[in-house]
Amino acid sequence: MEIWLDTAKIEEIQEAISWGVITGVTTNPSLMMRAGTTDLKTNTRRIAELVGGPVSAEVISDDAQGMIAEAKDIVTWSSHVVIKIPITVEGLKAIKVVSEWPARVNATLVFSANQALLAAHAGATYVSPFVGRLDDAGHDGMEVVREIAAIFEMHDITTKIIAASMRHPRHVIEAALAGAHVATVPYKVLQSMIYHPLTDVGIQRFKADWEQALSSKR
């Protein structure tokens, strides 16, 4: 399972790239706002240059014609760009058109396996079930990922599953076990994936023992 970063903040992306673990980035209007930018084109291009892999940029129109017009512009920003389209009836119409250009579409705001199935049939390259937001609403978000993975596998559907709205490191493990192809994680979650107190304790112990070994030779 690939790890993508769920952020529009350049410093976080640069840092995560230096770790050698991320292969893509997802953004959305809220993440752009949190990154303090309204220049979506410049920021998306910069992210694409840095990551050299898929970068999702989201349309904000409500109607298919508006989404398609936005997508027409967004695809010119970078060959790495993936058009993020919400899974509504208008979104489906837009996914069908945009996927045929050809361009890659990430169907976003997916909260059920039915939505994922429809997005796949309309031509989406990716579907993004929002695990954390489902959990927040009292559902089992990961169960939706499991259902989508089982249905896609059973029916030879090649659309890839991006486990989104990851809230904690355990979500990432569960997404991998559930069959997601990608987990898109906030920088904070990525940081907590690497941290373990026993690793720190182990390093300290090895250092102390080595110091003791050296001093006994002196």
Judged by the rule CB under 6 A, the positions of this chain that interact with ligand E4P are 6, 26, 28, 31, 108, 128, 130, 132-133, 164-165, 184
Residue 137 or 208: the one with the smaller Cβ distance to ligand E4P is 137
CB 69 within 8 A of CB 125: no
Q: Which of the following is catalytic: 84, 93, 160, 207?
A: 84
For residue 212, what is the enclosing H or E element?
Answer: helix 197-217
CB 106 within 8 A of CB 128: yes
Continuous H helices in 38-140: 40-51, 64-74, 89-99, 113-122, 131-136
Residue 86 or 218: the one with the smaller Cβ distance to ligand E4P is 86
Give the shortest CB-162-to-ligand E4P separation in angstroms.
7
Contacts by residues 40-43 (CB-CB < 8 Å, ≥ 24 positions apart): 41/73, 41/77, 43/8, 43/10
Give the shortest CB-31-to-ligand E4P separation in angstroms.
6
Nearest CA among 112, 114, 106 for reference residue 159: 106
Residue 188 or 201: the one with the smaller Cβ distance to ligand E4P is 188
Residue 68 or 189: the one with the smaller Cβ distance to ligand E4P is 189
93 is catalytic: no
Give the shortest CB-56-to-ligand E4P separation in angstroms.
6
Residue type, position 80, single letter: H
Give the shortest CB-199-to-ligand E4P separation in angstroms.
27
Residues marked as catalytic: 84
